[in-house]
Each structure stands twice: as structure tokens, then as C-alpha cells.
Structure 1
Amino acid sequence: MEGGGWNSSCSRSSRGSRRWGRRRCQKEREEATGWWGETGGGTVAKKRVMVVIDQSSRAKHAMMWALTHVANKGDRLALLHVVPHGGGAEADAPNLATLQALCRACKPEVEVEALVIQGPKLATVLSQVRKLEASVLVLGQGKPSPFSWECSLFRCRSEEFVEQCINKAECLTLAVRKQSKGVGGYLISTRWQKDFWLLA
């Protein structure tokens, strides 16, 4: 488990997310329209934001970032935990009831739902994005090793899973990594831009 544990403060600031919304790339701006839920008339449409959840601290950081930077009043936040076939993984599942309560306490104007689905992780996430018509998919990403030989099998698979979601999901997909306390902010990756530093 990464440093930082499961303790997280709730920040309602959106300054950094608005800076992120003014990216130069035209494709990013087009997808960000769906992210913010803005329509042509200037009104705000409700959207569903999906976060892939497990027991890691990076997953909770991604959840809190999605809640404070992406989800707005009236939106629905879906917390998705995928249980692989074969059983035995239920004991490793995060306490979704606790996470739901945390989200509601932090931002009660956002509806929160928890989903636990058994199946292959990538295929399940992609199918749920389509089924629920998610507007934004948020994933936690780990800190990459500077040395390729240090990449453990689990870390390599995790990084590969994030990359596949970014490239294949039928919605704007954001991989989020919380920076160390000394640096602050987050690194955000999308299909077109990697490790964009967001100070918020």
C-alpha cells in the first residue's frame, strides 16, 4: 500500500480543476465539455462519474479527487470494485459503505452508489462504462519506478490496466496520482497528455 494511508481531507477548491479545463489541446477541451457537463446553452447537465476502487491508497486519492474536482451538484458518483473470478478476493474488498459515507459527508449534493461486480477487471470496467453511460472514468495510478527491472509483476499489471482503460474506455478517462507532501498537487494522465501537474 502506498504512503498516505486512507486518511484524506476534503477540499472544495476548484481552482486547479478549472486550470486543467483550459488545456491547449482541442480534443482535451472537447472531452472536458462532457467532464464539466456544460451544454451549448451554458446550462449544466448531470453526469455520472465512475471511480475504480480497491484497498490501495491511490484508489482513495482518485475517489476524493473525482469527488472534489469532477463531480458537481446533482451528479452521480459510482464506486466500482471488480472481484476477479475464482473467489477468495472478497476479503480484500474495500469497505464500500465507509467510502460512501465519506463521500456523502464531504459532498452531500453528489449522489453516491457502490457496485461490486465479478469478472475480468478490464472487460468489466469497460462494460460498466458503457452500461451506466459514464461521462468520466477516474483511476488511481501508482508511482512508476525509475528502473524497469524494479517493476514488480503486480505494478506492471496495474500500470498496463490503467493504460488500457485510458485507450479503450468510451468516455473521458483520467489517471490520477497524488504527489508527495513536499511537492503537492496531482499528476493527471489522459489519452493525449501524460503526467499533467495539477496544483490543487
Structure 2
Amino acid sequence: MEGVAAHQKRKVMVVADPTRESAAALEYALSHAILETDTIILLHVENPNAWKNPIGSLFKWPSLPSSSKVASSPSSEGLGNGAASLGYAGGGGGGEMEFLEALKRACEIAQPKSSVQTERVAIMDGKDKAPIILSHCATLGIDLLIVGQKRTLSNAILGHKRSGSLRGLDTAEYLIENSKCTCVGVQRKGQNAGYILNTKTQKNFWLLA
């Protein structure tokens, strides 16, 4: 992010879901993409009709970046295991923090000078997730969109040589190809091997951690 003026204020949106891909996207954002002058917006698009899987309460997050202030802040004592240790356990209860609030807290610790906001939107009948995200990007004036991306054959070998149609594209691919602001798809490459990044103009770029 060199060359960005110190006074420039951006709005950076991270698509937040209780998945490992989303955790990797936030980890990348906090360690490599976000500046202290930025506003961080965590957007969660939820499907109210989705089946609630009780096994989801056992989900554990990967660690957030150890180089961030999460590890050094006095308020982060006992938080060394990343977002999972912030109290998110999917099912809630027992004083545990809901996952979106846990991620917000992680952002506030890692980037104490940045403003952190959370947004929730429900998928309406017949709607797709990706266009909803793009609509919110336009409404909020987002400058940078970051989304977790699954490693698939299409983006690993073929890249994103697809049409702009949602058909055949996953959410991350659609956002990368159709976002008016810069959109970065993030894949974690092993525990300590960095990230694979995809944008509209740069495919499968390997960024070391």
C-alpha cells in the first residue's frame, strides 16, 4: 500500500462470514491492506431461510495475523488464538461474543486508529448474495472490497476468463469481475505460506505472509 497519501481516507469493506475463507480475508486485510486512516466495514449477508447447523457451533477460526497489535495490545491478553479466542463459537450463549462482534473487536485491537463498522443484510427471496454486496458497496461508497475465496480449479488454473453473468461464477469471482471499486479475492496458502490474491487485472498473485 505504499504511495497512498497519509491523509487519504478510504472505506474498506470485508465480507464477513463464519468461514475459514472469510477469516483469511480479514487476516490479509488487517496485516497488508488497511491503513490507520481507513474505515473498516464488516458486511455479513445472511440467509434467514438457511438451515441452522448445530455443528457450526464447533467452528474454530484460524489465527489472525500475529504481527498485528492483536498479539501486543494489553487488552488482547488471552486472545492469542485469533478470532476463536475472542469468544465466537457459532451458537452463542455462555457470554460468548457473536462472530461479527468478535471480528469487530479483532479489528479494533489490530487497527486502533481505524473506525470499524458492522453491517448486516438479509438475502431476500430470489436474490443472490453477490449483487447484494455490490449494491451495498455502491451505497456506502466503498473504495476497496476484500472477500475470502475458495481454491477451485477455475481460479487456480483457468483464472476468471468468464462472462459477467452470475451463472457459473462463485460469489468471489462475481465480485472481482463486476465490482466498480477494486476487489481482492483472498485465499490462504497454507498456515505460514502467505496468500493467493486475485483481482480483475491480476490473477493468482502469491503474497508471502
Q: TM-score range by the shorter chain?
A: 0.5 to 0.7
| Residue correspondence of structure 1 range 1-200 to structure 2 within 5 A | 38=4, 42=5, 44-84=7-47, 86=49, 95-119=99-123, 120-145=128-153, 160-181=170-191, 184-200=193-209
**What is the CA distance between 1:181 and its match in structure 2?**
3.0
**What is the CA distance between 1:167 and its match in structure 2?**
1.0
Determine the C-alpha separation between the residues in 2 that align with 1:159 and 1:179: 21
Determine the C-alpha separation between the residues in 1 that align with 2:14 and 2:168: 15
Task: Give the corresponding residue for 1:12.
Answer: none
Task: Give the corresponding residue for 1:5.
Answer: none
Which 5+ residue runs of structure 1 have no aligned equivalent?
A: 1-16, 19-35, 147-156
Task: Give the corresponding residue for 1:154.
Answer: none
- Structure 1 or 2: more helix by fraction: 1
Determine the C-alpha separation between the residues in 2 that align with 1:158 and 1:107: 37
Change (3 A) 1:143 1:106: same
Contact 1:67 1:77 in 2 (8 A): no
Moved beyond 3 Å, runs of 4+: 85-94
Contact 1:142 1:159 in 2 (8 A): no
Aligned residues: CA RMSD: 2.9
Contact 2:7 2:37 in 1 (8 A): no
**What is the CA distance between 1:73 and its match in structure 2?**
1.3
Q: Structure 2 length as normaliser, TM-score?
A: 0.65
Identical counterparts, % of pairs: 28
Contact 2:41 2:118 in 1 (8 A): yes
Which 5+ residue runs of structure 2 have no aligned equivalent?
A: 57-89, 91-97, 155-166
Q: Structure 1 length as normaliser, TM-score?
A: 0.67
